[in-house]
Amino acid sequence: MLDDRKLAVLRAIVEDYVSTNEPVGSKALVDRHNLGVSPATIRNDMAALEEQGYITQPHTSAGRVPTDKGYRLFVDRLSQIKPLSGAERRAIETFLAGAVDLDEIVMRTVRLLAQLTRQVAVVQYPSLTRSSVRHVEIVPLAERRVMLVLITNTGRVEQRVVDLPEDIADDRVANLRAVLNACLDGCGLSRVPETVADVPERLPPEDRPVAVTILSVLLETLVERHEEKIAFGGTANLAAADFSIGLRDVLEALEEQVVLIRLLGETGGLSGLTVRIGSENPYSGLRGTSIVAAGYGAGDRELARLGVLGPTRMDYPVTMGAVRAVARYVGQILAGS
């Protein structure tokens, strides 16, 4: 366990290295930080930090840079995550509130995170398996054709055209719609099959063939559309980053959406931020990067996750503050939509 003085030296090294991208020497620490000790003491502290694996010397006679272990201790001992300014918070809220549907919310969130952090932003769509039914609409299109629309509490909209086995009058369609919404309102999508099993029995005999057809399409939609989806942006920010492994490896990992989905899924729950640094990432192509992620959702129920990916040399207080704030606003917008 490091004492407070060595922690202060490590914090100063991390901050200077993130700011300058240059190895940090003892003279720079004396000049830039009021550590209250002599240069000799700082050199001794740096030697102790290096011996314990928190910093390393990339070249002979050069200054020191943080290791993954050093970044981890820095993040774990952060006394404060940098909050966004009032103007930034208002701009985020206004920008996200202008979205008209879930796709636009996700894409606006990606743009915001990439701009705020100057990293690659990754946003997971709310999973259908974690969603519930908000409304079911059946829209007559022709004599034997209707549009089935499923709207979830997370803003996802699934539409299917259904060919019916027989003609059905508008008032009978309206009755079927009312019955479906009465039993499915607020129903978790995983429970829809069992919930609608007896719906045909609640209808007049002449409407049951149409109901069975529409329900079969509804259930097929849930099976076909259960896959996880993500969006990411800001890859141009990688051009200005430095990686201990090749940029090509990072880009290849980003193209593998399954990797990103798993990575977000492994970063914890809605209770707070998760930071995974360098070698803590299980995927070899991302071991020169750090992931800062948070869950978003309605109330205490997580719907999905979002975060940013960048080099281990990132401004963690700013990045963590931005991810936390955006996740909160996205959750509020989805809860109120």
Q: What is the pLDDT of residues 234-273, one digit of tens each?
A: 888 887 766 555 677 777 777 776 677 777 766 555 457 8
The answer on pLDDT for 313 being more than 70 is yes
The answer on pLDDT for 110 being more than 90 is yes
Nearest Cα to Cα of residue 171 among 207, 135, 208: 207
Say yes or no: do domains 4-76 and 86-127+228-336 share a fold.
Answer: no
Mean pLDDT computed over 77-106: 84
CB–CB of 293/323 below 8 Å?
Answer: yes
d(CA 188, CA 70): 44
Collapsing DSSP to helix, strand or coil, 322 comes out as: helix
CB–CB of 330/306 below 8 Å?
Answer: yes
**What's the pLDDT score for residue 88?**
85
Q: What percent of the chain has pLDDT above 70?
A: 90
User: Under CATH, what is the fold of the domain 86-127+228-336?
Assistant: Beta-Lactamase (3.30.450)
Best-predicted range by mean pLDDT (1-10, 250-259, 298-307) = 1-10
**What's the pLDDT score for residue 202?**
87
**What's the pLDDT score for residue 242?**
65
Give the architecture (CATH level 2) of 4-76.
Answer: Orthogonal Bundle (1.10)
**Which structure tokens are listed for 312?**
């281990």
The answer on pLDDT for 71 being more than 70 is yes
Out of 114-123, 208-217, 266-275, 311-320, least confident range: 266-275
Strand partners, 307: 122, 293
**What's the pLDDT score for residue 237?**
83
Q: What are phi and psi of 148, to 5 degrees?
A: -95, 125
Mean pLDDT computed over 283-303: 81
215 versus 153: the higher-pLDDT residue is 215
**What's the pLDDT score for residue 241?**
67
Q: Tens digits of per-residue pLDDT, 15-64?
A: 999 999 899 998 889 888 888 888 899 999 999 999 999 999 887 767 89
Q: What are phi and psi of 83, to 5 degrees?
A: -75, 155
Distances (CA, A) of 66 to 22, 163, 193, 208, 302: 11, 63, 53, 68, 34
- Please report, for the chain, the start and end positions of each structural domain, with discontinuous segments joined by +: 4-76, 86-127+228-336, 129-224
**What's the pLDDT score for residue 268?**
57
Mean pLDDT computed over 89-112: 87
Collapsing DSSP to helix, strand or coil, 268 comes out as: coil
CATH of 129-224, one of 3.30.390.10, 3.55.40.20, 3.40.50.9100, 3.90.1310.10: 3.30.390.10
Best-predicted range by mean pLDDT (59-63, 77-81, 108-112) = 108-112
Mean pLDDT computed over 166-193: 89
Q: Tell whether the torsion through CA atoms of 238, 239, 242 and 244 is positive or negative.
A: positive
